[in-house]
Amino acid sequence: MLSSWLRASVCVTTLLLVPRQTHASAFDVQGLGPDGVAEVGARSASAEDGSAAFFNPGGLALGNGTALLIAPIVSVSTLRAQDKRLPFEDPFGITLTASATIPFEGPLANRLRIGFSGHFLPTAALRLLARAPEEPFYPYYDNRTQRLVALPALGVRITKWLGIGFGANVLAGVRGPAKLEKGATGAPEPRIDIAANTVVSGIFGVRWDPTKYARFALVVRQGFGIPLNIDTTADIGGVPLATNLQAKMAMFDPLTVVLASSFDVGKVHIETSVSHAKWSDWESPYLSVQSTLPGVNLVSRIPSKLFRDTMSFRIGSNYSIATSARTKLVLRAGIAAEPTILAGNIQGRTNLVDGDKLTLGLGATFALKNARGNTLRIGLGGNGQFVSEFNQEKRPCQTAPCPETTVAGPDANSPSTGITNPGYPRLTASGALFTLSLGVGADF
């Protein structure tokens, strides 16, 4: 009994010591653990360890024992736009998952479980990139992995075959002045004040196991976006200049609903899932800018209705091979399909790119059980996400005033000449993202 409380205490301590800078985007883009990477995220009706804090907290409730996993993960991008390679920001991270049963007695015995999924960066807890309006980039990948992730969850076993769970997705607020060092030119140093309110969203999950060999799941992940406000002031030659930058939904993650089922056929485990992501709620990946001089007020116009909702499909499978009385090898594979998030509008100055995505995954897990029943797991998982080619013709402006769907040169009298927009005359993009994760875990 004492050891059960000790294991649960270790899991709780892990949850409490992790900073509250959280968001789940790294798990959506790169994957969660070797199993999740290899099975391309098709784990909502299967996961019962700490990874269930993200995949499905309801599945956490139906697990047992204590489990820990640490897994470095790295991604390599071959994505390109306008024949220029686009690097994947912060490609390396470390995944940590933990789960334990709270050792209550009586009616609560084996009813409550806690879990944790985390993604840690080697350089910083959070880094937001602000893109120039004309810069070509993939909004699907941009600003989605450059943050520490920490998802605690609680699972409640209602009956032997029914579990529900809740996870918290929290980003701690940031407010106050920021220091900006002078550059080599000795330009005047402005004062910068940053305000980012604390944002909380939830992950809710249900798992129903009608038989030993069949499982069904429903998961709802609330949408996430940080309302960011940055004020800068400077005095240039005695003239005050004030600039305000705002983003209603920085580091956006869409409302996502997942329906999943998994079945065991002999030694083969198969999971299928369909998910709906409400990308249309995202107003824009750009910051709005308002600059004020005495008697002058300039406000940028942010493009809208850029994104559309998507429906994605995943199939994951694994096959168990008993290599000896105490060892087992699990082979894993997965395939997923997801359409582009762009609404298909003709762009003017902006150069957002995306495409339909096909993801293929492979991996394996080696498990060794000792005489006490404890299990050591070593897993390796990799996948490649292949993005279809993006093509869009740019429309030159013929006469001023120029429509938002056109590009123009510097001469208002002849706007169709001297156009320097990097997406003109044709905006193209394609490529792939490759991810690999190696993990070591233990079950007690």
pLDDT above 90 covers a percentage of the chain that reads 55
Residue range 114-131, pLDDT digits in tens: 999 998 888 766 667 777
Q: How many CA atoms lie within 13 A of 349 on its CB side?
A: 16
> Where does the pLDDT of residue 207 fall: very low under 50, low under 70, confident under 90, or very high at 90 and above?
very high
**What domains are there in the chain, each with its CATH number?**
2-180+188-443 (2.40.160.60)
Residues 6+ apart with CB under 8 A from 334: 38, 39, 40, 41, 42, 314, 315, 316, 317, 359, 360, 361, 383
Residue range 344-400, pLDDT digits in tens: 888 988 999 999 999 999 999 999 998 788 999 999 999 999 999 999 999 999 988
Residue 104 has pLDDT above 80, yes or no: yes
Paired with 67 in beta bridges are 99, 443
| Whole-prediction pTM | 0.85
Residues 6+ apart with CB under 8 A from 414: none
Pairing of strands 92-101, 162-171: unpaired
> Where does the pLDDT of residue 17 fall: very low under 50, low under 70, confident under 90, or very high at 90 and above?
very low
CA dist 158 and 171 (Å) reads 30
Three-state SS letters, the chain? CHHHHHHHHHHHHHHHHCCCECCCHHHHHCCCHHHHHHCCCCCCCCCCCCCHHHHCHHHHHCCCCCEEEEEEEEEEECCEECCEECCCCCCEEEEEEEEEECCCCHHHCCCEEEEEEEEECCCCCECCCCCCCCCCECCCCCCCCCECEEEEEEEEEEECCEEEEEEEEEECCEEEEECCCCCCCCCCCCEEEEEECCEEEEEEEEEEEEECCEEEEEEEECCEEEEEEEEEEEEECCEEEEEEEEEEEEEEECCEEEEEEEEEECCEEEEEEEEEECHHHCCCCCCEEEEEECCEEEECCCCCCCECCEEEEEEEEEEEEECCCCEEEEEEEEEEEECCCECCCCCCCCCECCCCEEEEEEEEEEEEECCCCCEEEEEEEEEEEEEEEEEEECEECCCCCCCCCEECCCCCCCCCCCCCCCCCCEEEEEEEEEEEEEEEEEEC
Q: Which of 6-15, 31-40, 305-314, 318-327 is predicted least confidently?
A: 6-15
CA dist 412 and 416 (Å) reads 9
- Give the N- to C-terminal CA distance of the chain in Å, as an integer: 13
User: In whole numbers, what is the pLDDT of the chain averaged over residues?
Assistant: 85
Contact 291, 284 (CB under 8 A): no
Q: What pLDDT does residue 191 have?
A: 52
Q: Look up residue 212 and give its amino acid.
A: K
Contact 251, 265 (CB under 8 A): no
Residue range 274-310, pLDDT digits in tens: 999 999 998 888 877 777 767 666 666 777 789 999 9
User: Does 239 or 345 have the greater pLDDT score?
Assistant: 345
Contact 374, 444 (CB under 8 A): yes
Would the CA dihedral through 14, 361, 74, 227 be positive or negative? negative
Distances (CA, A) of 1 to 103, 104, 189: 7, 9, 61
Q: What pLDDT does residue 14 have?
A: 36
